[in-house]
Chains A and B, each alone.
Chain A
Amino acid sequence: GAVVSQHPSRVICKSGTSVKIECRSLDFQATTMFWYRQFPKKSLMLMATSNEGSKATYEQGVEKDKFLINHASLTLSTLTVTSAHPEDSSFYICSAPDGSNQPQHFGDGTRLSIL
């Protein structure tokens, strides 16, 4: 079935580093992808909607200059956490609809730890 691949699954890096997370649809085209963030023991909160070929739509309170989203092809969206700090440590997960009436496909998530 349709699969969304998210990479890396886990990353640990120093404060001030920029980290790129990839979300790739493996056997379908995704004009839209969604990025969510989950704090420990909390729910998933939508950060932004990634649109192929155009600017992402950010939810209120999400810093667009901090969380850069690029959706340059129909199968790949990237989220870059720029100049990451410990408070950016979280679980990031993407999802993509496949154009059918079926539920979206989620990536396995990326656990980001900033030291």
Chain B
Amino acid sequence: AQSVTQLDSQVPVFEEAPVELRCNYSSSVSVYLFWYVQYPNQGLQLLLKYLSGSTLVKGINGFEAEFNKSQTSFHLRKPSVHISDTAEYFCAVSRSSASKIIFGSGTRLSIRP
């Protein structure tokens, strides 16, 4: 079985500062890893995905994540955040593109001017 742990429930940062949202996963098999963003009162939007290949994955809105197999981590980073990045961020894992997706508990990113 797979599981996902997001260590930080809330991350406050100042505008234009860098941010890292942490995610660790557990699985006995190879997995696909994702980061989703959910803006207030909206659905999910895919930020980026790791399926295979390069461990550094670039996504939309200037976000990137690095797959680290030895540490079973998939942390999300952005070098300079904007007010518009205020949202809930979910790390997720699945065994394949057709399998159920297991979500982490989410990290609320709040940006201070």
Contact = CB atoms under 8 A, between A and B. Distances in A.
Are A and B interaction partners? yes
Contacts of B90: 43-44
A114 B46 CA distance: 29
B14 to A, nearest CB: 23
A113 to B, nearest CB: 13
A99 B100 contact: no
Interface string B58-100: 0000000000000000000000000000000010000001101
Contact of A108 (B43, B97, B101, B106): B43
A93 B90 CA distance: 15
A54 interface: no
Contact of A43 (B34, B98, B100, B106): B106
Contacts, number: 46
Contacts of A34: 100-101
Given A44-B90, A103-B34, A93 B101 contact: no
B57 interface: no
Contact of B97 (A42, A43, A100, A106): A100
A106 B43 contact: yes
B72 to A, nearest CB: 19
A102 B97 CA distance: 6
29 contacts: A36-B103, A42-B106, A43-B103, A43-B106, A44-B44, A44-B103, A45-B103, A46-B101, A46-B102, A49-B100, A93-B44, A95-B101, A97-B98, A99-B98, A100-B97, A101-B51, A101-B97, A102-B97, A103-B34, A103-B46, A103-B97, A104-B97, A104-B98, A104-B101, A106-B43, A107-B43, A108-B42, A109-B42, A109-B43
Interface of A: 32, 34, 36, 42-46, 49, 93, 95, 97, 99-104, 106-109, 111
Interface of B: 32, 34, 41-44, 46, 49, 51, 90, 97-98, 100-106
